[in-house]
Amino acid sequence: MTDTPGWASPGSSEPPRDDARPPADAPAAAPGPSAPPQATPGWGTQYGRPNQGGPTPGGHDPYGWGTRRSPRPGVIPLRPLGVGELLDGAVTTVRRHWRTALTLSLGIAVIDQAGALAAELLVNGRTGPTTELLTMLAQTPLTMLLDALAVALLTVVVSRAVLGRPVTAGEAWRDARPRLLQLLGLTILTTLMSAGVVLLGFTPLLGYSAGGAASPGITALLALVGLLAAPVAAWLLIRYSLAAPALMLEKQGVVTALSRSRRLVRGSWWRVFGIFLVSRVLSGILAMVLLIPFRFLGLVLGFGSVNSLDDGHQSVGMLVLTAIAGILASAIVTPFLAAVGVLVYIDQRIRREALDIELARAAGLSEQDGTGWNGQADQTPARR
């Protein structure tokens, strides 16, 4: 573990393996507050369970008689976090490091919305299933590239924010650039993986419809088969949702990062799914709140009517205002969502690998008589 944004797996430079760390139900084995600093990942037993010799290194009272103290060098306390704390940590990251986060996300949002606006202008109001599909496909390569770039840059920002250290846009670019191509490959792979499952599920329906048959019962049955593929795709997306932070922070390859995500999510799929779902819903609400005033302004300026918004035939002025709203929304939402993803990754490693101890040391905090850490401490009770 170093003090740089690249966080190697604790205790080893080799790719982490399940058989190299203790199981979640392993008995306590640490000698107490005098445990050596160079201990293995299993030192102090699994995080949050009492040692036999006294308080744990993070200042946790093993018998629950006192207030648990957790070091907080940055945007989160270094202990297992609740859902609200994760979301608050993401908001705090954007608020404290708004210059760097918004500079990076704003530039990416401008390029993304410019591409979307160009595609919309090429369609020129001719809406329909085919044109909408072609527009989406035309935007996909640029969107995937920009998403990978945003995740790479903002992961560096969040990782420094956890340690309480600032980072400039230039520093984020220098740290993220070596891993950018790998992250792009990872993004393409996970996208194709989930999209391929959905396409495979709807292939029988598409083939049946292309054959000219029109039996309502068979069509409904094949449509149901296709819909059943959607939960499988969602399961895969969450299963590998932590691969990007693992690739960036552990300096892992694509395959190893996918394996790391699978191990970190295992047993916590529903929790990770719920956190990502809540964050997406909040982001969607924020985007709609920002879009409505621009749409209303467009109507006031005579750029269109309510009917034109409904049927998709929008004027150039309305499309430009919509793009501006999209830029503002993306500039805020993108760093928030990136922060949530990184913080979930950190939280899972804290729960499974006692990463909080390594993070506290990387932040320059040292133990204080086995009862806590010198530095800023968080006094709220730790989540179990």
User: How confident is residue 209, by pLDDT bands cut at 50, 70 and 90?
Assistant: confident
Three-state SS across the chain? CCCCCCCCCCCCCCCCCHHHCCCCCCCCCCCCCCCCCCCCCCCCCCCCCCCCCCCCCCCCCCCCCCCCCEECCCCCCCCCCCHHHHHHHHHHHHHHCHHHHHHHHHHHHHHHHHHHHHHHHHHCCCCCHHHHHHHHHHHHHHHHHHHHHHHHHHHHHHHHHHCCCCCCHHHHHHHHHHHHHHHHHHHHHHHHHHHHHHHHHHHHHHHHHHCCCCCHHHHHHHHHHHHHHHHHHHHHHHHCCCHHHHHHHCCCCHHHHHHHHHHHHCCCHHHHHHHHHHHHHHHHHHHHHHHHHHHHHHHHCCCCCHHHHHHCCCCHHHHHHHHHHHHHHHHHHHHHHHHHHHHHHHHHHHHHHCHHHHHHHHCCCCECCCCCECCCEECCCCCC
Residues 345-366 have pLDDT tens digits of: 999 999 999 898 889 888 888 6
- Mean pLDDT of all residues in 41-65: 38
Query: What is the per-residue pLDDT for 41?
Result: 36
Could you give the CA distance from residue 346 to residue 159 in angstroms, rounded to a whole number?
9
Among the residue ranges 111-115, 125-129, 231-235, 261-265, the one predicted with the least confidence is 125-129
Query: What is the per-residue pLDDT for 64?
Result: 44
Q: What is the pTM of this model?
A: 0.76
- Mean pLDDT of all residues in 146-175: 91
For 378, residues 6+ apart whose C-beta sits below 8 A from its C-beta are 69, 70, 71, 72, 77, 79
Query: What is the per-residue pLDDT for 47?
Result: 33
Does residue 28 register a pLDDT over 70?
Answer: no
Query: What is the per-residue pLDDT for 364?
Result: 83
CB-based contact 237:198 (threshold 8 Å) = no
275: amino acid identity, one letter: I
Q: What is the mean pLDDT of the chain?
A: 76
Query: What is the per-residue pLDDT for 127?
Result: 53
Between 221 and 120, residue with greater pLDDT: 221
Query: What is the per-residue pLDDT for 208?
Result: 77
